[in-house]
Structures are given as C-alpha cells and as structure tokens.
Amino acid sequence: MLTFYFGVMGSGKSAFALMTWHEKHRPTASHHPNRAVLATTMDRSVDKVTSRTGMAAQALRITPGEVTPEMFGGADTVVIDEAQFLTPDDVDGLATLAAAGTDVVCFGLRTDFTSRMFAGSRRLLELADHVGHLPIEPRCARCERPALINARRVNGVVTTEGDTVVIGDVTGGSPSDPDQLGFDDTSAGGQPGTGLGAAGRVSVEYDPMCFGCWSNEVGARRFIDLRQSPESRHESGEPGSGQHGHR
C-alpha cells in the first residue's frame, strides 16, 4: 500500500516518519518479522532523518529522479521523509513497488512557500491508496487559525521569490545552530552555493500561516516594493525622481 501523510512545517512530519520506521522495523521478531528502510530526499543532516523534537536516525539518502525499487533492498516497509521533493516518475516507481506488496509510507509538505503544490506531492495525492493530514495542526503565527502556508521569511520579510529548496527552520530556531537555520544563497546578489549574500549571510525562517494572513503580508510587501520602484517614483514626482508632480 502507498500512503502519503502531509502537513505544514512544524506538524511533526519527521517525528512521525521516525516513529513509523521504529514501529515497523522488527527484523528479528519471532512472529511476523518486518524489515523497514528509512529514507529521505534531503534533510538538515546528511544520511539522517532528524526532528526538532531531538529524535534522529540513520537513513538512506535518495536523490530525486533516481529512485529505483532495487535501492531499498527488498525491504518489507519503506518510510520516506521529505517526500515532496520526489519527482512524479519517482512516485510512479514507488506506486509500482507498493502494488507488488511493499508497504510504502511517505511524509512531506503539500505546498511550497508560494502556496503552489510540489510536483511530488501532487503525484502522491493522485496515486496513494491512503492520504491523510498529520494529526498535529500548527496554527497561524498571526491569527491562530489553522495554518496552510509555509511562509518563507528572508531577513524577517515574507517573500514569494527564490529557489524552491532552501532549508530553514520554523520561527523560533536558534541562529547559533547551523542545523536549524537555512541560508538563501542567491538572495541580495549572493553567489549560489556559497551561503553568502552580497551583504553577508541571509537568514531564512518559515512561519506557518493561514492563507488570509499570508496573502495580506505578501500583498503589503508587493505594494511597498511598487512604491519604492524607480518607475513609481518617476510617475509620482517624488524627490529624487527627476520629475515634478502634477498640479
């Protein structure tokens, strides 16, 4: 059976993946032995699944686009964390594996920081035998309604621009902990792969937010950007624009 559990950041995806693997992995049981493989597409740690609860376990690191049934070594159960980064073809392969009798359990986000669905999550929703919300329901950081969006903040400002994959932390992470804080390589004129922006390191945090609060912040940000654009200042005749306003 192919199962997909999803939630926003902070809903305990990795914790539930770890607990599921721990419960399923009983290779030496005298009755109904079961060998489970824990895998992740990417995480804060190499070859590990880690949770903000402090739980962690070694995992098979898989590269999106290169998933094959053979890589799981004939396991009875496959548990995959960060499944949103799988490609549609990867998910097709997992569905085939599940149809052949392997229990495949995936955990991941449904949408990215722009509110758009990940390609892997979309295919999982299309093919999974069972789909469910994770039971922990984070609340909006602004109004306490159920959170829907994984809002990305770059230096404290909500943004809808940048690479889809920038590993960061939910608000409240410790800046001194490199595993809990992401850096956007390409913001502010930075160089890809360096972790440095033009003016230094750029902090990336994620706020769980409802759609209303997220869209309000995004809209306010776009309005400010528009007001500060050279074209807007030119048309309004603001100081420094080289034009006088209409009288």
The answer to whether residue 82 is catalytic is: yes
CB 5 within 8 A of CB 134: yes
Give the span between the Cα atoms of 209 and 215, in whole angstroms: 9
Q: Considering 23, 70, 82, 126, which one is annotated as catalytic?
A: 82
2 and 98 Cβ atoms separated by less than 8 Å: yes
Burial of 175 (0-12, 13-18, 19+ CB in 10 A): exposed
Distance between start and end Cα atoms, the chain: 71
d(CA 119, CA 116): 9
- The whole-angstrom separation of Cα 116 and Cα 216 is 17
Give me the residue label for tokens 């594996």: 97
Beta bridge mates, 105: 3, 79
Identity at 115, one-letter amino acid code: S
Give me the helix-helix angle, 119-127 and 88-99, nearest 10°.
30
Q: 171 Cβ partners below 8 Å, 6+ apart?
A: 141, 153, 205, 206, 207
> Nearest-CA neighbor of 209 among 146, 123, 128?
146
Alpha helices by DSSP H, 1-87 = 13-24
Active centre residues (catalytic): 82
